[in-house]
Amino acid sequence: MIMPLGSDDGICLTGGQVDEMTLALIDAAHDSDEMARAVISSSMFDLGRKKPALVLSSCHSYLKKHSKLSLDHRVVILNTVEKIVKETLDFIDLKLATNLINQASSELTQSKEVVPEWQTAASGVLVALGAKYCNEVMAEMLDKFQPGVLPHFFVVQTIGNLAAANVYEMIPHLTAVLGTMLPMLGLCKFDNMRWVFASAISNFSEAILEYCANLDQAPDKTVSTDRFASEIFSAYDILFNVWLQSKEARLRLTIIEAVGHMTHVMSRDKLQEQLPKILQGIFALYKRHPEPYHITQGLCMVLDAVCVEGSLILEPYLDNLLNILFTQIFQPVDYNNSMSIKNHNELLRSFAIIARAFSGKLVGVLLTKLESKDEKTRIGILSIFKHVINAAVSAMEDKKEVVVSGLKGLCNDTNNKIKRMFAQVIIAMADHGYLELEGGHNMIEFIVRQCSLEDEPKGKRSPDPDYVSNQALRLMCTNILQLVTTTIEHMEPVLWPYLIELVVPERYTKASKSVCRSLAHLAHKKREESASDFLIDFDYQPNIPKAPLLIARLM
């Protein structure tokens, strides 16, 4: 029988020819030429997407038959199997899945030593299949996960990764897994095994949280974090109090990440009891690690668990915590370093979380710090304000007047770097209704004033890499005024007719184009909505220039 290889390849092969070609590709998958290997691997994958049963069963038979095959060759085949499974899982039946699971499990633990590439490839196949056949994969893994005996490194890693890949089907297995795992933790003497257990427990905790956060889609609506709180606390006790003392940096960072997730599963009483110890341990790690991102990420998760609405358990430690966070946020961000950017974002997220429970205290501290003469400090504080205004909307609702009043003094600042950051804060305030309060017009006037900045004299450029020119600031604020006018609906009563007051003053001549463009947009919008609302009674608007003066100025 003639059958097409694929609808778009224009080649027709017999069934036997397809079988032969599949075996030829598998046989040549570890060609000595790197480019040839890539082409063969790609061809196997393309064929596997069109005929998954044929290619996957052929790969299984080949691996099973050739027990002496080189490791590199086995890795290529296993990696291709994983890719095909991910693309075609819905078309893989139980029998084929079981064969692949048994083979990958054998590859996973055939060597008692850790052979990362080989065993990672086998684990990848199991996790990919576990997205649909989770119970079958777990049955195979639990057979190699027996009480009282340390399992293979990659058995633990596979179970942990499966918890991340298939939350809903893994949760029913977690009680048994944790029951077997907890006594094993005391047997772990080597950092690599401690690392893989910590990583798996981190994934388990995250899976529990995801399951409970989406109970409406979950098969068992009775599951809650309380079901796992005791086991997770027992694991925390060993990870934090014993393993965190390790000299291995990678292990310490993984433990902190795990603890961040585990604090969400612990009971409130245990969390409150352990909080001072957790914070002290995290703060100490900042001194031991030059790269702080993973520590800040863990701290942020702990704060998220602690700062639930109405909870004040963080209050005794708040001042010390804020000082730790301020020390980092005041450091310039290295935008060429992704970890520096990520750490900065996690720091900002920490402040937004703190604002949920302590918005009044936080705003007071920020405004006090803003009185500093230090440029980095003031820029750091403004970046916090910008993020908190955007990310902690409900918590900041009753602090709007205090914020507007406290920031109003910056309208007369002369430092372009400070002004650039302040302009970004003003956008956030405009978006969330701050500028409708008393003092809002001062912020709008500040933006217009920057739109009227004169070009700096041509000459030697400042050596400061963060230098902000008048031209750059003027362009930015011109865009801000246009953005606020055209995209933020509730800013209309703030801008109209107030902007007309800024047309006549000579000091705003350079901004007249931007101001008039905004006024034209607002006037056109008002005229379309209501003819009467568009009209201005100059007798009742004493601050607005009289019509003859306004017309003369525009002429």
The secondary element (H helix, E strand) that includes residue 12 is strand 12-14
Concatenated DSSP letters of 168-233: HHHHHHHHHHHHHHHHHHTT--SHHHHHHHHHHHHHHHHHHHHHHHTGGG-S-TT--THHHHHHHH
Calculate the alpha carbon distances from 163 to 130, 151, 177, 193 in Å. Answer: 9, 17, 11, 18
Residue 26 located in a structural domain: yes
Residues near 518 by beta carbon (within 8 Å), at least 6 away in sequence: 481, 482, 485, 495, 499
Helix (H, G, I), strand (E, B) or coil at 236: helix
Separation CA 505–CA 143 (nearest Å)? 82
Can you tell me the distance from the alpha carbon of 191 to that of 247, in angstroms, rounded to the nearest whole number?
A: 9
- Let me know the angle formed at the C-alpha of 459 by 455 and 461, rounded to the nearest 5 degrees: 90
**Cβ-count burial 15-26 (b if 16+ within 10 Å, e if not):** eeebeeebeebb
pTM for this model (two decimals): 0.87
Task: State the amino acid at position 354 in one-letter form.
Answer: I
* Predicted local distance difference test score (pLDDT) of residue 540: 63
Determine, yes or no, domain membership for 189.
no
d(CA 401, CA 412): 19
Nearest C-alpha neighbor of 311 from the set 281, 354, 364, 346: 354
* Helices (H) then strands (E): counts for the chain: 26, 2
pLDDT of residue 311: 84
Token output for 304: 């998220």
The answer to whether 348 and 355 have CB atoms below 8 angstroms apart is no
Residues making up the chain, counted from first to last: 555
Cα(345)–Cα(348) distance, integer angstroms: 5
Query: Within a domain: residue 226?
Result: no
Return d(Cα 382, Cα 141) in angstroms, integer: 52
Tell me how far apart the terminal alpha carbons of the chain are, to the nearest angstrom.
87
433 φψ region: left (φ > 0), alpha (ψ -120 to 50), beta (else): left
Domain containing residue 41: 1-144
CA angle centred on 141, ends 139 and 142, rounded to 5°: 65
371 within domain boundaries: no
Domain's final residue, options 144, 174, 196: 144
CA 2 to chain centre: 51
Residue 41's pLDDT is what?
87
CA atoms of 481 and 88, how far apart (whole Å): 51
Cα angle 37, 38, 43; round to 5: 95
Query: Please, what is the Cα angle at 228 between 224 and 230, to 5 degrees?
Result: 130
Residue 373, SS3? coil
Q: Is 118 inside a domain boundary? A: yes
Query: What is the pLDDT at residue 538?
Result: 61
**Residues forming beta bridges with residue 3, ordered by sequence position:** 13
Last residue of a domain, one of 144, 170, 205: 144
4, β-bridge pairs: 12
The answer to whether residue 180 sits within a structural domain is no
Q: What is the number of domains present in the chain?
A: 2
> In Å, how far from its chain's centre is CA 319?
26
442 belongs to a structural domain: yes
Is residue 155 within 8 Å of 113, Cβ to Cβ? no
**CB under 8 Å to 162, separation ≥6 — which residues?**
126, 127, 130, 134, 137, 138, 141, 170
Cα(208)–Cα(221) distance, integer angstroms: 13
SS3 percent helix, strand, coil of the chain, rounded to 5, is 75, 0, 25
Q: Which two tokens stand for residue 157?
A: 């890693």
* Contacts with 377 (C-beta within 8 Å, 6 or more apart), sequence order: 330, 369
Read off the tokens for 247.
Answer: 């000299």
- Domain final residue pick, 96, 125, 144: 144
Helix (H, G, I), strand (E, B) or coil at 492: helix
pLDDT confidence of residue 32 = 79
Low pLDDT (below 70) residues in the chain: 1-17, 460, 531-550, 552, 555
Exposed / middle / buried, residue 110 (Cβ in 10 Å: 0-12, 13-18, 19+): middle
* Position 480 in a domain: yes
The secondary structure element, H or E, covering residue 34 is helix 34-50
Q: What pLDDT, on the 0 to 100 scale, is given for residue 7?
A: 41
